[in-house]
Structure 1
Amino acid sequence: MESSRQERRQELAQFLRSRRARLSPEQAGLFAGGRRRTPGLRRGEVAQLSGVSVDWYTWLEQARDIQVSSQVLESIARALQLDSNERRHLFLLALQQLPADAAQPEHEISPTLQSFLDLQGVSPAYVSDQRLTIVAWNRMASLIYGDYASMTERERNSVWRTFTSPYVRQLLQDRWEAHARHRLAHFRALYGKFAGDPWWLEMIGELNKVSPEFRDWWPQHDVLNGPEGRKINVHPAAGRLVFDQISFAVLDAPHLTATINIPSQEDETISNLQKLIKASLQND
């Protein structure tokens, strides 16, 4: 165990030295001050830009066993002008966890990802962020779950929608409670990464006000990750729909999760969906 921690500290030290060596004083907004023996910034300059002591930063580059906070890592990442991939690598080496990207542009979806959703055909597909807000979807998802394009950001949050939307209760019928508890447990698990964040505190407070179920279940601290598995919906136009759900992280945007609801082959779900999409095209 100790050898693996030491190896990770060595890797972190080498990574920091390599990033420091590639950055000139001019690029960092510093005065170069004549000829230098080695390229890049000095340790003291990185420490100055990061707001830490020279000794502490030196120990970090020497692979010493010292405590590192996420706040200090953010400062070092800015000082060394790391890109998003390098910043994630820094956090994984130092803390064995990804940074909490509360300010990341979570609503920017690549054209490739949107095309992937659109190509799912009769499978309702969508992308959600770390707050469980739907940020991208295909046509079938809107036909089944609601017109996301006309919703506010809060209405597109799947936890808010689960606990406040009469349509969702109609769609799920006697399966609503199981779905709501699963969704809440997933929300609680994600909250562990953002505890104390103003957005989360406001959302939790509002849900406590508007939903007695949320108010009763939130103190139970149930946590759960992963898809729901088999889902059964009763759509007002398409009737009974059975899906098997699969979810996965988006590799180039790990703060996003893509979810595909695959129609069951064992009943009339696919034909019902085909009729639904045909009717919607005729109405366009």
Structure 2
Amino acid sequence: MTNRMRMSNEMVGSLGTFLKSRRTGLDPATFGLSGRRRTPGLRREEVAQRASISPTWYTWLEQGRGGAPSAAVLNRIAGALMLTESEREHLFLLGLGRPPDVRRKPVDGVNPRLQRLLDSLRTSPAIIKTATWDVVAWNRAATVVLTDYGTLPADRRNVLRFLFCHPEVRARQHDWEAVARFVVGTFRADAARAGLSSEAGNLVSELCSASPEFAALWQDNEVLRPADGDGVKRLRHPELGAIDLEYSAFAVDGRPDLGLIVYTPLDPAIAERIGALAERARPAPARAPLP
């Protein structure tokens, strides 16, 4: 047996073990099922019925027989077994060797844990953005260095709109052309990865009409990642003067549609001045918690 076949068989076997463990852990009473049972949990045919698949096919999956299930079948099984998002992802990794497609959720804010993380960064501007680069959370340092997002309507807190439609934001950039190319390239990758075709399409159409520069960059079809930049954002700040900020991008655990960006001042003196300005800044408005 080849290594590839052995790995495939082991993966299928793990899938069957996982399915059985989730099935036997369910309480039949939750589904209105009663009567004495020889084994705990739901029966295989009951799961199959809930998932709208053949009882034989489901049995084969638990026994490690048959071929790889489709994504549609796995989604129906995940619903039948009432899996959490983490369990659903694990199910796909076992069954198909990849995570499921991203389920898009409306984003109105972040949970308190993430907001506390942002607020703990006293001298480093930090934001959390969606895959279409809407800013949904920020700290006081971001308010004084980047933009006072709290003064803007939620649907106008978009990094691309700032960059291409606000001359004052453009004037603050040390090298606007390089920043614009980098942002468009990473936005293209983020939106595609999250499957945001319609949402991204509406934003792209708006920006192409509003900015010839954006339209030209979009036509280039360049795809970039945060690691493809030089890692430093250079700004002309009205109070701090010329400042260099080292940026780092992070994924938000459990939310592939969100990203955390932290800008760390390279000059310790500038960092302390940012901290002082942030302390004097008005408190950030409360953001609706993310479910």
TM-score after normalising by structure 2: 0.83
Query: What is aligned with 1:24?
Result: 27
* 1:263 and 2:261 aligned: no
Query: What is aligned with 1:144?
Result: 145
Query: What is aligned with 2:285?
Result: none
Query: What is aligned with 1:98?
Result: 99
The 2-side partners of 1:178 and 1:220 are apart by 14
Query: What is aligned with 1:226?
Result: 226
- One-letter amino acid of the structure 2 residue matched with residue 52 of structure 1: I
From 237, 246, 251, the equivalent of 2:248 is: 246
- Deviation, 1:65, is 5.6
Asked if structure 1 preserves the Cα contact closer than 8 Å seen for 2:182 and 2:224, the reply is: yes
Query: What is aligned with 1:212?
Result: 212
- One-letter amino acid of the structure 1 residue matched with residue 92 of structure 2: F
Query: What is aligned with 1:192?
Result: 192
**Percent same amino acid at aligned positions?**
36
- Deviation, 1:278, is 6.2
Asked if structure 1 preserves the Cα contact closer than 8 Å seen for 2:25 and 2:41, the reply is: yes
Per-residue deviation, residues 110-141 of structure 1 (Å, max 9, x unmatched): 22221221111121011223332221110010
- The answer for unaligned runs of 5 or more in structure 1 is none
Asked if structure 1 preserves the Cα contact closer than 8 Å seen for 2:109 and 2:137, the reply is: no
TM-score after normalising by structure 1: 0.85
The 1-side partners of 2:221 and 2:58 are apart by 39
Query: How many residue pairs get matched?
Result: 277
- One-letter amino acid of the structure 2 residue matched with residue 109 of structure 1: V
The 2-side partners of 1:180 and 1:206 are apart by 16
Per mean C-alpha deviation after superposition, the further-off stretch among 113-122 and 246-255 is 246-255
Matches within 5 A, 1:1-284: 1-27=4-30, 29-32=31-34, 34-64=35-65, 66-104=67-105, 106-173=107-174, 175-195=175-195, 197-226=197-226, 228=229, 229-251=231-253, 253-265=255-267, 269-270=270-271, 272-274=273-275, 276-277=277-278, 280=281
1:249 aligned counterpart, secondary structure: strand
Cα distance 1:218–1:41, how it changes in 2: closer, same or farther (>3 A)? Answer: same
- One-letter amino acid of the structure 2 residue matched with residue 146 of structure 1: T
User: Larger RCO: Structure 1 or Structure 2 (Cα < 8 Å, ≥ 6 residues apart)?
Assistant: 2
Asked if structure 2 preserves the Cα contact closer than 8 Å seen for 1:244 and 1:261, the reply is: yes
Cα distance 1:96–1:256, how it changes in 2: closer, same or farther (>3 A)? Answer: farther
- One-letter amino acid of the structure 2 residue matched with residue 35 of structure 1: R
- Deviation, 1:252, is 5.1
Asked if structure 1 preserves the Cα contact closer than 8 Å seen for 2:247 and 2:264, the reply is: yes
Per mean C-alpha deviation after superposition, the further-off stretch among 179-188 and 191-200 is 191-200
Asked if structure 1 preserves the Cα contact closer than 8 Å seen for 2:68 and 2:95, the reply is: no
Q: CA RMSD in A?
A: 2.6
The 1-side partners of 2:71 and 2:105 are apart by 16
Per mean C-alpha deviation after superposition, the further-off stretch among 237-246 and 127-136 is 127-136
Asked if structure 1 preserves the Cα contact closer than 8 Å seen for 2:194 and 2:257, the reply is: no
The 2-side partners of 1:25 and 1:279 are apart by 58
The 1-side partners of 2:182 and 2:210 are apart by 19
Cα distance 1:106–1:14, how it changes in 2: closer, same or farther (>3 A)? Answer: farther
The 2-side partners of 1:253 and 1:77 are apart by 18
2:56 aligned counterpart, secondary structure: helix
Asked if structure 2 preserves the Cα contact closer than 8 Å seen for 1:240 and 1:269, the reply is: no
Cα distance 1:148–1:87, how it changes in 2: closer, same or farther (>3 A)? Answer: same
